[in-house]
């Protein structure tokens, strides 16, 4: 009887540890909060103060924003279809966008070219050139949802190419259910008479950590121990 209780307790305890590891590993990274001036911690465990500026100025080149609840950090970067240089950019009231030129204080120049859109801003919306915002996480994550804002900082409705797939967004939020460590969010060029309907910012991302293998090993070890105990009992 006692042996049975101990066996069940071992299984429940191991399963509980596995569940706890999964349940505790979820969080939200708000680029909007940082852009609006909120404090945050970077991936070197240094406290920083938010505000409008490019990523290199606000966080540091190659340095990530740390999510304290998961211990996962993310680095924002950007590319242009022309091959030119670009920077991820925190825009007050909107979130994270892209800027190809910044001034000495890290402000976007021109100031209105700060979302993910056509290279050169809305005036070039129909010329087929585009910007790409890239989020690189420190480990593999489940991207549970992404909140988008539009050019005017309201909720975004339009189409974004995510990791090469055209993805429709309605009402500002995509329940993504994507897994990986690198995610690209590309502007889709539109014809000139449609305007810049696909220009966007990323407000925030909800992430969860992929379960740590050690937790699974712990459960398997517990189950293996029970199997060994059964074999010993039979041999006796």
User: Residues 162-209: pLDDT tens digits?
Assistant: 999 999 999 999 998 899 999 999 999 876 555 567 899 999 999 999
Examine the pLDDT at 97 and tell me if it is beyond 80.
yes
β-bridge mates for residue 73, sequence order? 66
Residue of 145, 160, 144 lying closest to 197 (CA atoms)? 160
DSSP 52: S
Q: What's the Cα-to-Cα distance from 228 to each of 113, 224, 232, 234, 236, rounded to whole Å?
A: 65, 6, 6, 10, 12
Please state the domain extents for the chain: 1-25+212-236, 26-210
User: Residues 19-68: pLDDT tens digits?
Assistant: 444 444 899 999 999 999 999 999 999 999 999 999 999 999 999 999 99
Q: How confident is the model at residue 122 (pLDDT cuts 50, 70, 90)?
A: confident
Examine the pLDDT at 73 and tell me if it is beyond 70.
yes
Phi-psi region at 71: left, alpha or beta (left = phi > 0; alpha = psi -120 to 50): left
User: Residues 128-144: pLDDT tens digits?
Assistant: 899 999 999 999 999 99
Q: Yes or no: say if 178 and 208 are a contact pair by the CB < 8 Å rule.
A: no
Q: Yes or no: say if 130 and 198 are a contact pair by the CB < 8 Å rule.
A: no
Return the higher-pLDDT residue of 9 and 123: 123
Return the higher-pLDDT residue of 122 and 217: 122
Per residue in 146-180, is it b (16+ CB within 10 Å) or e — as a string? bbbbbbebeebebebbbeeeebebeebbbebebee
Cα–Cα distance for residue pair 28/67, rounded to 1 Å = 7
Cα–Cα distance for residue pair 223/93, rounded to 1 Å = 51
Predicted local distance difference test score (pLDDT) of residue 236 = 52
Examine the pLDDT at 117 and tell me if it is beyond 60.
yes
Q: What predicted TM-score, i.e. pTM, was given to this entire model?
A: 0.81
β-bridge mates for residue 75, sequence order? 136
Predicted local distance difference test score (pLDDT) of residue 125 = 78
Examine the pLDDT at 148 and tell me if it is beyond 70.
yes
Locate 85 and state its tokens: 């240089």
Mean of pLDDT values over 72-98: 97
């Amino acid at each position: 009887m006692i042996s049975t209780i101990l066996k069940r307790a071992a299984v429940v305890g191991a399963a509980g540890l596995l569940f706890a590891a999964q349940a505790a590993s979820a969080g939200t990274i708000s680029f909007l909060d940082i852009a609006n001036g909120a404090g945050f911690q970077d991936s070197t465990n240094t406290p920083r103060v938010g505000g409008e500026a490019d990523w290199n100025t606000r966080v540091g080149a190659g340095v990530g924003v740390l999510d304290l609840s998961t211990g996962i950090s993310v680095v924002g970067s950007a590319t242009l279809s022309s091959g030119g240089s670009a920077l991820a950019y925190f825009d007050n009231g909107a979130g994270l966008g892209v800027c190809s030129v910044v001034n000495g204080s890290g402000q976007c120049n021109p100031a209105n070219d700060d979302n993910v859109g056509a290279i050169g801003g809305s005036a070039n919306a129909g010329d087929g050139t585009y910007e790409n915002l890239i989020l690189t996480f420190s480990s593999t994550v489940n991207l549970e949802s992404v909140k988008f804002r539009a050019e005017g900082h309201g909720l975004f409705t339009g189409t974004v190419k995510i990791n090469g797939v055209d993805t429709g967004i309605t009402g500002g939020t995509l329940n993504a259910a994507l897994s990986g460590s690198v995610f690209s969010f590309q502007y889709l060029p539109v014809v000139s008479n449609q305007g810049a309907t696909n220009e966007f910012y990323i407000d925030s991302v909800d992430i969860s950590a992929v379960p740590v293998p050690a937790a699974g090993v712990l459960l398997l070890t517990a189950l293996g121990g029970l199997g060994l105990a059964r074999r010993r009992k039979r041999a006796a």
